[in-house]
Chain A
């Protein structure tokens, strides 16, 4: 079957580094997306990986291992505004995006 797993909730301190993991099982894998969703708002695109390795974009980085069906999102120099849910989504084929349930991140002062 097709499945995505990510932790339900994480807590970290302002200024710290946090890693949010995501494991997936999907046929026709065509890339892994990370989205950020603040409470009551739309998900917004953060990053995309289709090849193995690390993609860096400012304070956010995303890693993919296709052989392990594993990805992580790394957030550095955490700020209070990073408190949000982070959604992992695998693209299966051309149209089918399979979403995880999201990881709710709380950043504490």
Chain B
């Protein structure tokens, strides 16, 4: 079974802090994604990566950056946390090749910015 592990289930940080959210997958997937999930808005894509050191902006990249130095690890960075970044953050991974490749999600990190 694919395992996507996010470093924290719950995190509380202060406005202006630099925040790191880590995600690791164990199935050699090429693609990795970061979403945030807010009530009434669904999942919104922040960034994704299709290979090591490659990254593409999603729909809401402002205020975020990412790092993918190794294939199994994809980090989301909040450069200077703000209260409107309080949300549930979900990491996902998928295979790049072949049909019917669903995304596999981590359990999420509920981040509160005070």
Interface residues of A (CB under 8 A from B): 31, 33, 35, 40-45, 48, 50, 87, 89, 94-97, 99-102
Chain B residues within 8 Å of A, Cβ to Cβ = 4, 31, 33, 35, 40-45, 48, 50, 56, 90, 96, 99-100, 102-108
Interchain nearest-CB distance for B62 vs A (Å): 18
Q: Which residues on the A side are within 8 Å of B56 (C-beta)?
A: 95
Q: Which residues of B contact A42 (CB under 8 A)?
A: 4, 90, 105-108
The count of A-to-B residue pairs whose CB atoms sit within 8 angstroms is 49
What residues of chain B lie closer than 8 Å to A45, measured between beta carbons? Answer: 102-104
Across the interface, do A48 and B43 meet the contact criterion of CB distance under 8 Å? Answer: no
B42, A102: Cβ atoms under 8 Å? yes
Which of B42, B48, B56, B100 has the most chain A CB atoms inside 10 A of its CB?
B42
